[in-house]
Structure 1
Amino acid sequence: MEYTKLGRTGLEVSKICLGCMSFGDASKGFHSGWLLDEEKSRVIIKKALDLGVNFFDTANVYGAGSSEEYLGRAIRDFADREEIIIATKLFFGDGQHEGRNTTGLSRKAIFNQVNASLKRLGTDYIDVLYIHRWDYNTPIEETMSALNDLVRSGKVHYLGASAMYAWQFQKAQYTAEKNGWTKFSVMQNHYNMLYREDEREMIPFCKDSGVGLAPYSPFAAGRVIRDWTADTARSRTDETAKSKYDSTEEQDMAIVKRVAELAEKYNHSRAQIALAWLWQKGIDAPIIGVTKEKYLDDFMGAFDLKLTDEDIAYLDEKYLPHKVVGAL
């Protein structure tokens, strides 16, 4: 495993972050068609720890909170909590409490959601707390003030943001700086070889201001690294991924073909090609979800691969602008 500082923070994270969206109680999850139960989830988490992964990403909405529960119990059983970086997210709520003030980024909702996540994770603090979306109905001053208070209280160590426009992220950072509050240290944006719209504004802003990059969907829900005809539980049931990628299938397949060509050329897997591409684009720690141990073993081979400038240009050449998705 290789490690890196997360942006300009002193936080040292593995260059692979294990995403935990595929872990949870299938009777509760909004993507229950491909959720792993606790026993199977623990196998994946233990394998990741054995390989040196110390960065884990979950959210209160995953499995209606059960993903946090699974992760928290596994970390307590298999690892030293002080060495592990746990990231979770809030905005949507845990699905167990419906009604007013249970979602969003108001001060009340933020404190309630964080306390619930801490309880499910079984820990006293969250290493990285992301806001999962931009809240159009709450003043950003209220949100940033509440987040700052959580950091000052010790319940949260670092702040992150996800799935928003660059102007929104800049507004949040400016609001925090103006008031002497804690700023966001990391951006979890939508970024992969098939979706590069954040190269226009968000990624340059983050790099210029020292914000770490830990994007979600780095393999485009598997589309970058497998044959598009492959039949998997996720490909059949993940409606979110279908809405993001199905409309651009024809142009995206030209890129995926080139990934396969380079994989054959270098005798590496497609996943290793995709990971090498991300790291060479300046990504700190892509968030990768898996449902089988063997994929984690495969990812480790990416550390032995260095793509040439010509390889990067070859992979980038066929990209065409996409409709913005994710920043909703």
Structure 2
Amino acid sequence: MSDQEQFVPWVNLGKSGLKISNVIIGAMSFGSKGWMEWVEDDEEKIFKILKKAYDHGIRTYDTADLYSNGLSEIILGKFLKKYNIKRDKVVILTKVWAPVDESVGYDFMALRDFKTEEQGIDFANNKGLSRRHILDAAENSVRRLGTYIDVYQIHRYDPDTPQEETMKALNDVVEKGLTRYIGASTSRAVDFVEYQHIAEKNGWHKFISVQSYYNLINREDEHELNYYAKKTGVGIIPWSPLAGGVLARDVDSGSNDSSLTKRQQAPTFKHIADYVLKSDDPEKAAEVSIVQRIGELASKKNVSRAAIATAWVIHKGAQPIVGLNSEKRVDDLIVGANLKLDEEEVKYLEEPYKPRVRFSQ
């Protein structure tokens, strides 16, 4: 790592005045292994990873109340306290939508563990984007974090709640001082546009950012959601820029089962398992070619594959959210955050791409 790569650049989030590191730490991977087996639960190890990232300027964090049933937010708050980090030195994003109840333990995931009709009733008002749930969830996230939120995001679209109710509630969360801004995640373009129109019509706070599932082998959001975001000055902060790790390693020729990581085996990440690549699979020839080209370019530049995939997302005008499970991954992220790809290199990486059905969850 050169002297110029000791720190990552900071940029404005869209056209807002909020500045963030150009790579964001995804805190889904910090919490309880009982929630998901691949999650890191050693707090001292987590703190070392976060501190190393912090020391190199990676000080923007994306979490959610869903992650480890609230524990991810708690760990992030503990990190700030452990190192006496002043609040104005970091940027915190979290999300609302999923059912969360700390009283049943941090291993609980309502989306997976609902087994009885009674449980469904218990969580009837503890999910979605109703006014009641948004206000309750925002207060609980602030309590767990031990501080205010910078960007409060809707995790998914809620078809059971009027969009006007959702946007008014989010506006009130800002006005109450619980968050400074609002954003959205994993949204269809039409839903996102409608939310923005409702807010503008009523003079309410609008979304300043949107998360999309966007990487070198998943580019469908370029045509609608990302296009609209760029046109209107909304910051794009994609999740899974490495496609769950698929872009960070060579193409596998073995069986799907043996080549899946713990994260890819998790039911929540079935979409990632679909991209486990075998060199002899004609249905995935485009993806195989892209991964091979990432490897070629990584060798040429003497950097990791992860750095190439990360740099591509940044080149496209977005700030990727990246999960970290080791201090070595922090090094890769710093390199990727500073790496410049020229137009010929970008064209070479993108050339094999073939459109797929857009991921929606």
User: Does TM, normalized by the shorter one, top 0.5?
Assistant: yes
What residue number does 1:25 align with? 32
Q: How many residues align?
A: 323
What residue number does 1:163 align with? 186
| Cα distance, 1:228 vs structure 2 | 4.2
| Cα distance, 1:303 vs structure 2 | 4.5
After superposition, the Cα gap between the structure-2 partners of 1:33 and 1:53, relative to the gap in structure 1 and judged at 3 Å, is closer
What residue number does 2:199 align with? 176
| Cα distance, 1:233 vs structure 2 | 4.8
Contact 1:34 1:234 in 2 (8 A): no
| Cα distance, 1:130 vs structure 2 | 0.6
Q: Does 1:280 align with 2:315?
A: yes
What residue number does 2:332 align with? 298
Runs of 5+ consecutive residues of structure 1 not aligned to the other structure: none
Q: Among residues 85, 88, 91, which one is paired with 2:97 in the alignment?
A: 91
Q: Map 1:131-210; keep pairs closer than 5 Å.
A: 131-210=154-233
What residue number does 2:241 align with? 218
Contact 1:93 1:113 in 2 (8 A): no
Q: Residue by residue, what CA displacement relative to the aligned partner does 1:67-104 show, whole Å, maximum 9, x if unpaired?
A: 00000110122221122111100100324474210000
Counterpart Cα distance in 2 of 1:68 and 1:280: 30
Larger Rg: 2
Contact 2:29 2:38 in 1 (8 A): no
Q: Among residues 310, 331, 351, which one is paired with 1:317 in the alignment?
A: 351
| Cα distance, 1:311 vs structure 2 | 1.1
| Cα distance, 1:247 vs structure 2 | 5.5
Percent identity (aligned): 41
Let me know the Cα RMSD of the aligned residues: 1.8
What residue number does 2:64 align with? 59
Structure 1 residue ranges (4+ consecutive) displaced by more than 6 angstroms after TM superposition: none
Counterpart Cα distance in 2 of 1:296 and 1:61: 24
Counterpart Cα distance in 2 of 1:324 and 1:248: 17
2:129 counterpart letter in structure 1: L
| Cα distance, 1:248 vs structure 2 | 7.4
1:215 counterpart letter in structure 2: P
Specify the SS of the correspondent of 1:133.
coil
Counterpart Cα distance in 1 of 2:11 and 2:129: 30
Specify the SS of the correspondent of 1:157.
strand
| Cα distance, 1:168 vs structure 2 | 0.4
| Cα distance, 1:224 vs structure 2 | 0.6
Counterpart Cα distance in 2 of 1:208 and 1:224: 28
| Cα distance, 1:49 vs structure 2 | 0.8
Contact 1:162 1:189 in 2 (8 A): yes
Counterpart Cα distance in 1 of 2:304 and 2:59: 23
